[in-house]
Structures are given as C-alpha cells and as structure tokens.
Amino acid sequence: MQIPLKRIQCVEFQEHPISHPKNVKVEFLEIYSKGFEQSQEHQQNFNHPLYCRLLLDRVLSLNSAYLSRFLNYQCELLKRPYSWLTSLDMLLEFNVDLIKEIKLVEELRSAMNLVNEKRMEYQKIPRFYREDDFEVDNPYRYDLIKPHLDKLESHHKKKAYLLRMKTDYLQNLYNYDRDDGVDFDVQIDLELAYLHSIQKMRKKKDFMLESKPMVFIWEGPINILVDFYYQCLNYKTEENRPILNATKRAIENFIVKHYRKPDGSKFHATTIRTILTPSRNEKRPNADKRISLEKIIKKYKE
C-alpha cells in the first residue's frame, strides 16, 4: 500500500530516525528510502513529505501487535519520544479524510488508539525526563517543577508529585544543588511542610483550598459547541499549524469542567469524546447548522 504523496497533509517531525540505503533486507521496524540518501549530511533539507508518507504507509499496514513493537522501537531511537508521538497523532488526524477514502478506517482507528496510549505513558513522566531541554542544565531546580506543581488541583496529587521528585533526587544523588546553599530536598521538605499546614487549615470553618471553576450555561445542542472546538483543533494557520494548540482530551476535560446544560447538569465526557473523533462525522452538525470557524476567520481578515 502506498498513500499518494501529493495528497498527504504533512507534519514536521523534530526527530526522524531513518535507515539509510544498504544491501540487506529492511526490517519492518525501520523507516527506509533511497530518497533519504542525502539527509544524513543535510538535515536541514530533510524530505518531510516523503517521511510522512512512509510513516503513514508503515503505521497503517501493521496489525496492532506489530504496530506496538514499531512504536516501541522508534521511541527507543528518540530523544523526545513524546514530541514524536504527538506529531504522529497529528499526522493521522490531518489525513483522516484521505485514509477513509482509501478504506483504511479500522486501521486508522487502531493506530490512533495505540499512538495515544503510548503518548499517555510518556505524559505521566515529568517533562524534563521525557525531553532533553535541560540535559546540560540542572533538572533538579525548584523553579522548574513549580509550574507543574501549581497545575495539580488536589493536595494528595501535589504531595505525591513532590515525594516522587524528592525520591528521584535522593536516588540519583546528582550534584545539582542550588548555588544559594538550599538543597533541592530541603526545598521539597519546606513545600511538604506547607501542604501539611494547609491540611490542618482544612479543619477550620469555611476554609476552601480550591476555587470553583467558572461555569457557562450552554443552551444549544452539544454537538454544535463541541464541533466548534473540533474545527479549532483541525483548522491550520498559514504556517500549517493548528489554530488551537491543544489535545482532544484537554478540550474534553475543559468542556466538562466549564460548561453546563440548562438544568445545571454536566455534559457526558463520552458524548464529547465521540463528537471529537475525526471518523464520527455523523455526530457533528451539517455545514448549514454549524458555527463556521472558516467564515469567522475570513470575515476577520476582510
């Protein structure tokens, strides 16, 4: 199977491990083409469209067991597997219509599920463990973990995260202490003491640790609301990037958290997830009933 190269909506991969021409049979876990012959010396001229086509061909031709092995093999070759998996997920989503046209819907669904499962594995790992942004810097700095810590809503999640980081630090014993003499583990102890104090304050009357989220009442059909977010995820800017930089799961959680039905009840996450699924066109409104993002942008530019 070969997907037409000219019809593929390409995605740029920051990393693209490939196998160069050789006189042996290429393993099914590798990406290989003579079209990459010059890319080893001239990475700035890397053939991204060809790479995207070969990657789609490989991903959609493997059954679930082999595809899982392929993803594991590729991730082992990468410095930033999470970023690569995110690009692969975007590549599959951008080419849903083309893949449906060549009747590979089941293969597409299986591939997207496996890619997302693999992404979730890496998403559980702190950012500086899954990317190399700080490989020449000190990864055990409190200012690096504080932004992630602030995003965690529950006391138990914060405490578990801090204990995990402190344990990692003590297990590795890297020489990454701060210049001011306050060691990383001491900072963690201070934060844990703070959380312990907060826990005591819970016993006081009218104490509230977490503020209530802002909620909006949606009077219309849920598929119109979710479809607008779906358009935002899939509409591309002139730089060929999605106009809204978010995941489907993030949008799903956002709608559940911030939108309510007229009676005040929450929308079901499964309903939102179904509408956001690219292959479920029948769940989204017809063109004459949707809020057209394209028309809004066109009018804005005029």
Q: Per-residue pLDDT tens for 21-63?
A: 554 455 678 887 766 655 444 455 678 888 888 899 889 888 8
**Rounded CA gap, 256 and 269, in Å?**
6
| Residue length of the chain | 302
Same domain, 109 and 24: yes
Residue 207, pLDDT score:
54
Q: Tokens 């005040």 — which residue?
A: 264
**Rounded CA gap, 116 and 248, in Å?**
11
Same domain, 9 and 77: yes
- How many domains, in total, are found in the chain? 3
In-domain check, residue 210: no
Residues of the chain with pLDDT under 70: 1-2, 20-27, 34-45, 123-140, 156, 170-182, 198, 201-212
Q: Tokens 């990657």 — which residue?
A: 55
In-domain check, residue 167: yes
Tokens of 296: 């809004």
Residue 102, pLDDT score:
84
Same domain, 237 and 278: yes
pLDDT digits (tens, 9 = 90+) for 214-247: 889 999 999 999 999 999 998 888 888 888 888 8
Q: Which domain holds residue 34?
A: 5-124
Helix (H, G, I), strand (E, B) or coil at 156: helix
